[in-house]
Amino acid sequence: MSLRKKVGVCGGCVSSQINGSVVKAFEILSLFGEGREEICAATLKAHLGMNAVTAHRFLRTLEETGMVVAASRGHYRPGFALADLGARAAAPGNLVPVVQPILERLTGEIGEATMATLFDGEKVVCIARAVPDRPLFVDVRRGTRLEAHCTAHGKSWLAHLPPADLERWFDTAERVAMTRSTMVARPELEEELAKVRRTGLAFNRGEREAQINAVAVPSLSRTGRMICALSAFGSAARFGEAAMEGFVAPLRAGAGEIARRLYGEAAT
């Protein structure tokens, strides 16, 4: 869905509460993406129907704000002002207030512990979790770093890494056999990650701790990048195959809700 459709811009008429120039600026910035590292006036004409004068004015204005920088005469690439804003928006402090109530609702619905993680380049980091209201349960504290190769969260993150980043992880990460079920050989793990990419599901079947199972799903941005991973986890006695399959739909609903709250619409 385009930014124009989202804000209700139709036929050149803008709602009295919406600034059309701001909308247009974000439409221009959204032209940067996979396979397009630079834009120019011709790009704006082809994709947004702008005339040359208007396109140049918008590009120069965005350059003045630091949102784009000149790569060559008339051609622009994203400026680091965008990276600064993105880093602030993606900071755990902004993400946790969105994720925590969703985890609490999920745990109330399925009766099992749930968790959300980010990836620090080597391991996954728990940023939020919710636990069931019963005397005995498996828990992971916020801030805990967990191995990527033997956890459902880690596999989900690894499966969504750009190829160069995944190669770097394979070259540098220590892959220790935590249990008899841990995958440490690269070919076996690559096959597992390919399955995660196909299905959108990552499982931990006693691979970090022998009696702990988990299932994780990704929450994805509009461009398909991971926002965070969500999981349900617990003792193997409670988390058989049928139980984990039953948690998939609620987890995916939670992942979609995170994307809607962050973007204002479901990510694609």
Angle at 91 between CA 90 and CA 96, to 5 degrees: 95
The neighbour count for residue 163, using CB atoms within 10 Å, is 7
> What pLDDT sits at residue 33?
73
pLDDT, one tens digit per residue, over 4-40 is 444 444 444 445 677 788 888 888 888 887 578 899 9
Contacts 24+ apart (CB under 8 A), 85-93: 90/227, 92/118, 92/127
Strand 68-72 and strand 123-130: the pairing is unpaired
Mean pLDDT across the stretch 120-124? 93
Q: What's this model's pTM, rounded to 2 decimal places?
A: 0.72
Question: Mind listing the domains of the chain with CATH numbers?
Answer: 3-86 (1.10.10.10), 91-263 (3.30.450.40)
Q: Which of 205, 206, 228, 204 is nearest to 217 (CA)?
A: 228
- In which band, very low, low, confident or very high, does the pLDDT at 89 lie, cut at 50, 70 and 90? low
| Contact of 145 with 118, CB cutoff 8 Å | no
Strands, E assignment, 1-101: 39-40, 68-72, 75-78
Mean pLDDT across the stretch 201-209? 96
pLDDT, one tens digit per residue, over 123-178 is 999 999 999 887 767 778 889 999 999 999 999 999 999 999 999 999 999 999 99
| Contact of 24 with 57, CB cutoff 8 Å | no
